[in-house]
Amino acid sequence: MTTSPRPGKNTGHPTTEKTSPEPRWLTAHEQRLWRSWLTATKGLQSTLGSDLINESGLSMPDYEVLVVLSEAPDETSRVSALADLTGWERSRLSHHLGRMEKRKLIQRRCCPEDARGQLVSLTDTGRERIRESAPGHVAAVRRHLFDVLDADDLAALERITGRIIGSLPDQG
């Protein structure tokens, strides 16, 4: 707190007002590291997404949904659980599922235990597309991430990302 005159009034009587603390600006080194992190993560996502769509016709969001469903019991998930697992807003997921359903990658139906709920399942087409695209996608992940790092780098990356994830709301 500081003591200062009221703004706009020169009464000669001091008042007490709160001031915000100065932001903790990034140092030059931190700024370079932050921008490098952004470039690496955005570039990796972009490269993997381009590789995937060029090789399989699937987008990264398509692939993410198909992977989650392929790992679910009976290759089926409630929409609410799928939203939680992907970290997507329900409206975004609903729109994307509609597009995937038109391409016959997934099928939606009412949940028999809860008429308000909806189930999403892989179709034969979706199952085939994930099987066809997974080897190329895994090769791209390996080529652009794991093959460029040594064992010490990977251990450090695991430790660092674990700390970052642990510091995020609803992640740790």
- Domain CATH for 70: 1.10.10.10
Q: 131 lies in a domain? A: yes
pLDDT tens digits along 75-132: 999 999 999 999 999 999 999 999 999 999 999 999 888 878 899 999 999 999 999 9
Q: 101 lies in a domain? A: yes
Q: 80 lies in a domain? A: yes
Q: 163 lies in a domain? A: no
pLDDT tens digits along 56-89: 999 999 999 999 999 999 999 999 999 999 999 9
Strands 15-17 and 106-110: unpaired
Distance CA 106, CA 123 (A): 5
Q: 158 lies in a domain? A: no
Assess whether pLDDT exceeds 80 at residue 3: no
Q: 157 lies in a domain? A: no
- Look up the domain containing 135 and give its range: 51-150
Q: 141 lies in a domain? A: yes
Domains of the chain: total: 1
Q: What pTM value is reported for the model? A: 0.80
For residues 58 and 12, the model is more confident at: 58
